[in-house]
Chain A
């Protein structure tokens, strides 16, 4: 293929590459704008891409960091099962969500893969993966902390054809419709994914018609080589050595925990090796993740310290190696529950970050909330009786940096171009009244530079028979400080009953609430950087004026007295 590509001039390759990248953006927009799940259109919990015939990513549009390593694996699964058996045709679409192989993460994340043919030859694939709000299972919304095996978590699709030669597999669609709580939403999401694939397929075919197969394949290959070159050049400049860290996951949602996890990052001239050996074995609750997701998080950190600003492609990961024995909390095997897999996956990312942060101050901040801090609230509309369901990630504090305070009220690094749900929309749609959405001053995050403040979000329950679930990490082990900076504050969910009694939770589900009860989500303040005694007193006074710290903290931690007037 390389020899063939030699006939294609440099500028034509550039032009095709630009078209491939534009195609990724276009598929992304279509899926976002037509999806029915808030997790897709608002949280952007999805990714789209195109691969070459070997399943290597050549263009990708993603809204969150977590899906980096998963699209190519989904395509490779399809290649192994269908392409190699000669069983994949034009206009076929394959659906898969197995967590343990392919591009799976948890059953809610559905991947769709479509081959792109030029005459009788597959020249590439288009693929997307999105979090459907419903795939059935034991709890509404399908994401649960109650499961003890995968069979409780919803519909499980082991790489099956959704569409054959352009004809939808109606039996499969009917099975989906019958097994999910919000069928219009799930089927709507399915169509959004299908139309994004078909648009991508059409665009890639148009490129081949315009420039010829040889030129398009050459452009794909050179794009992968480009990614590798950029990553290797950056790798060469990094400090070499082995960097280690460890931390704890609070709980698994079933009353077990904490669980220790570890990593060692070895950077050599041509490799970036992430070794998670020694991490806790798989746990009974649903916070386990699989190897694919572990690798995906390692890719995100690798990107952050090498090539954060170039378009994603498979070539850039060639120097990366991810090691972890099977059967751990990071490399769970069937039938381990994985419904809230993102909590361990985020922790994998966070301990890599923690190992490297002191050595890469120009790229990495101190520890952040490191959790989606998700809560789920369900109920029925008192007038229409319709089922409603709030589920989502929430914002918290980011860690301080070597010369700057941390960001306040941002989604954790596992999210990205994720949007919070406006209060005015929350109140119109769900049976809660929002009473506060504001920064808090819980203790933590002190330093020469302060961690960003976490947030209080108060929901007053306005309907009856409302249920609460929470999957809040960093509840017992706060975000970490760097270089003498203090750790951040803790995340938690507090229920304040009408009678004034209070309950505090980290990971919990099926808490019954009544009208008038208050749910308070408190998300962590990020870790500090540097000795608090070194903080400029002017900054402390500004913090005080702005109410980011209390007078007591100013005095006791920073030694600054409040000034009159």
Chain B
């Protein structure tokens, strides 16, 4: 049987798969392939990929799918005409937002427009108070008038968001029932279905975005499901979510915003799975693509999760909040295609503008004229200029050199010096992003390994690890399509977050226990409603806590077991330790619990990741040549070049060295050592 993951990106659709022999429970080598994404018929790319590698859907025992359909629908503003129903007096919450203005000195600032214009935001009489008591039941009669209005306006999806629905969703549930009766054809998303955290603007916007993408996601997911079924696949497909787990098609259709960041999440999840398999549960994941670099910290084999996430936010734009759980990723605008430039004051910048895939770096010879990070790698010999893109006759190295000579002339350095400088700046950008997820959150990088993947990860990994004193870099096989591989390692995952503020110094343990049990019951019911009572379930508890008087919380994992006074005292200690690690402050102030956060997994049976036998073949067998590589301060070296796929477990080599595979180059610095482990990982020891 075959286990398959497919990942639709903006440019390419990736497929990663391996064979699983159920009798021996052994697996074949992982294989991968990619084809062009077809923007107007996304799911056809998936079928093409399955066809292209000669798989028959009936052989598939597990199928996971990641997709950019939701994020693209938002980015291109191609979602539904959506309407919003709110509590009387609050239809403008969506547009007032938080009132903030990150672009401080832009005295023409305007916030980005809401996804529902004012005339499609309507109000109904209803009210719940902050204690969760319904003080005014929903006026269901008013809904039929609103439905008639929305129908007349050609509305295609609805969001419902009532005040304090996080505390008691009864009125939202009543609205869902009434709307389902009055207008069953149109998808409706209520705010409590997206999150049970307080803050009405964030929750409302999440529900609105979910409704906005709902018809598009719905069409997409049902087409995918029916095409796979028509071609003979008899297992349900799973959809990758932003939280690092998969879910069923039915669940994804109910709240499609939860699959917003499925691509980046699967890479981090892959790093976590790999880390656990090789017995290094603490790693930092680094994914360098053409436009950005993303990093995320994994502690104890678990990626960090956040609900403080904004679409399109940057230094000028407050963006749009999405409160569904997302793997906590720091992303910066520096990747292989990032353009280097010098401003009028003489400062050097790399990115955030990217040459992308088209025209691409200057060396591609497709009309790009601005120097990119990839061009700098070519000029230093790190990437083979004669072999970029597999082009006949090689890349246009002289054009890249001219572009760098021109940029260098403005500050009086040569093309080669400039290329070096640009790589230094790009590395510092990435180093700062890595610091944000590690040092700035109280973690010592020396205690972590760096898992580097994506097209650029293997090239920058050793440099960055050295800068941060990280002792070991792990470069997985098929580094360029590692994100898709990550999906093969997932379980079903659902997050349940519930706001219910309580002071812990005089808390009633039975009330807290009741709150946790209610969430656990909800999780159980959720799985059994989809016929998944069987199998192995795992539930993890966490809480967002703070010192009384603070606003911002720290997420702390909590042990299972009964909730009594000693247990709560233990929670408080965990919080104080976590706060101290993050901010170097431990206060003698009562501690408050703000949200319970329950994560429920239904474990998907999967073959174990098993180490292969160590071989004794000499590393020279994998050598395919030598070339001159400029290591800047570490000098110019004649470097052996290896073919990555011919490097076998047990082989060792010494830096400087280069290993090439399709879409990626591994760089080992002088003085560093490397080896291939039993999992085909390329391990670089930085000597730190």
Residues of A within 8 A of B (CB): 10-11, 14-15, 17-19, 22, 26, 29-30, 32-36, 38, 41-42, 62, 64-65, 184-185, 188, 191-192, 195, 198-199, 226-227, 229-230, 233, 300-301, 303-304, 308-310, 353, 363-365, 395, 398, 401, 404, 406-411, 413, 415-420, 422-425, 427-428, 433-439, 452, 455, 458, 545-548
Q: Which residues of A contact B582 (CB under 8 A)?
A: 33
Known: A408-B96, A419-B98, A424-B166. A364 touches B550 (CB 8 A): no
8 closest pairs, A vs B, by CB? A436-B89, A308-B105, A409-B96, A395-B99, A11-B421, A546-B118, A407-B110, A428-B130
- Interface hits, B640-669 → A, CB 8 Å: none
Is B435 in contact with chain A by the CB < 8 A criterion? yes
Q: Is the pair A308, B106 in contact by a Cβ cutoff of 8 Å?
A: yes
Q: Is the pair A15, B345 in contact by a Cβ cutoff of 8 Å?
A: no
Q: Is the pair B105, A18 in contact by a Cβ cutoff of 8 Å?
A: no
**What CA separation (Å) do A300 and B103 show in the bound complex?**
12
Is B520 in contact with chain A by the CB < 8 A criterion? no
Q: Is the pair B107, A363 in contact by a Cβ cutoff of 8 Å?
A: yes
Q: Which residues of B contact A192 (CB under 8 A)?
A: 585
Name the CB-closest residue of A to B550: A36
Known: A413-B107, A458-B89. A15 touches B428 (CB 8 A): yes
Known: A15-B425, A62-B104. A422 touches B109 (CB 8 A): no
Q: Is the pair B102, A416 in contact by a Cβ cutoff of 8 Å?
A: yes
Known: A188-B587, A363-B107, A424-B200. A437 touches B96 (CB 8 A): yes
Q: Which residues of A contact B118 (CB under 8 A)?
A: 439, 546-548
A40 to chain B, nearest CB (A): 9
Residues of B within 8 A of A (CB): 89-93, 95-111, 117-119, 129-130, 163-164, 166, 198-201, 316, 343-348, 411, 413, 420-421, 424-425, 428-429, 432, 435, 440, 501, 547-552, 582-585, 587, 589
Q: Is the pair B105, A438 in contact by a Cβ cutoff of 8 Å?
A: no
Partner of B101, one of A14, A17, A353, A415: A415
A408 to chain B, nearest CB (A): 6
Q: Is the pair A22, B105 in contact by a Cβ cutoff of 8 Å?
A: no
**What CA separation (Å) do A458 and B166 show in the bound complex?**
22
**What CA separation (Å) do A102 and B47 show in the bound complex?**
69
Name the CB-closest residue of B to A453: B92
**What CA separation (Å) do A434 and B127 show in the bound complex?**
11
B291 to chain A, nearest CB (A): 20
B382 to chain A, nearest CB (A): 17
Partner of B584, one of A10, A64, A199, A230: A199
Interface of B is mostly: loop
Q: Is the pair A546, B117 in contact by a Cβ cutoff of 8 Å?
A: yes
Partner of A14, one of B164, B199, B347: B347
Name the CB-closest residue of A to B97: A409
5 pairs, CB–CB < 8 Å, chain A vs chain B: A34-B585, A229-B346, A233-B345, A365-B107, A417-B104
Q: Which residues of B contact A30 (CB under 8 A)?
A: 583
Partner of B119, one of A33, A364, A547: A547
Q: Which residues of A contact B90 (CB under 8 A)?
A: 423, 436-438
Q: Is the pair B91, A427 in contact by a Cβ cutoff of 8 Å?
A: no
Q: Which residues of A contact B552 (CB under 8 A)?
A: 32-33, 41
Q: Is the pair A422, B89 in contact by a Cβ cutoff of 8 Å?
A: no
**What CA separation (Å) do A309 and B349 show in the bound complex?**
14
**What CA separation (Å) do A22 and B106 show in the bound complex?**
22
Q: Which residues of A contact B585 (CB under 8 A)?
A: 34, 191-192, 195
Q: Which residues of B contact A309 (CB under 8 A)?
A: 105, 316
Known: A303-B105, A419-B100. A425 touches B199 (CB 8 A): yes
Q: Is the pair B428, A418 in contact by a Cβ cutoff of 8 Å?
A: no
Q: Which residues of A contact B164 (CB under 8 A)?
A: 424, 427
Name the CB-closest residue of B to A41: B551
**What CA separation (Å) do A74 and B380 show in the bound complex?**
47
Known: A10-B411, A15-B428, A22-B435. A304 touches B93 (CB 8 A): no
Q: Is the pair B163, A424 in contact by a Cβ cutoff of 8 Å?
A: yes
Q: Which residues of B contact A437 (CB under 8 A)?
A: 89-90, 92-93, 96
B50 to chain A, nearest CB (A): 45
Q: Is the pair A409, B95 in contact by a Cβ cutoff of 8 Å?
A: yes
Q: Is the pair A438, B89 in contact by a Cβ cutoff of 8 Å?
A: yes
**What CA separation (Å) do A413 and B108 show in the bound complex?**
10
**What CA separation (Å) do A455 and B89 show in the bound complex?**
12
Known: A11-B425, A545-B119. A33 touches B100 (CB 8 A): no
Q: Which residues of B contact A310 (CB under 8 A)?
A: 345
Known: A34-B550, A404-B110, A437-B90. A416 touches B99 (CB 8 A): no
Name the CB-closest residue of B to A194: B585
A199 to chain B, nearest CB (A): 7
Q: Is the pair B108, A18 in contact by a Cβ cutoff of 8 Å?
A: no
Q: Which residues of A contact B95 (CB under 8 A)?
A: 408-409, 439
A492 to chain B, nearest CB (A): 19
Q: Is the pair B110, A423 in contact by a Cβ cutoff of 8 Å?
A: no
B661 to chain A, nearest CB (A): 30
Q: Which of A11, A36, A64 has the most CB of B within 10 A?
A: A11
Q: Is the pair A18, B429 in contact by a Cβ cutoff of 8 Å?
A: yes
Q: Is the pair B105, A300 in contact by a Cβ cutoff of 8 Å?
A: yes
Q: Which residues of B contact A424 (CB under 8 A)?
A: 130, 163-164, 166, 198-200
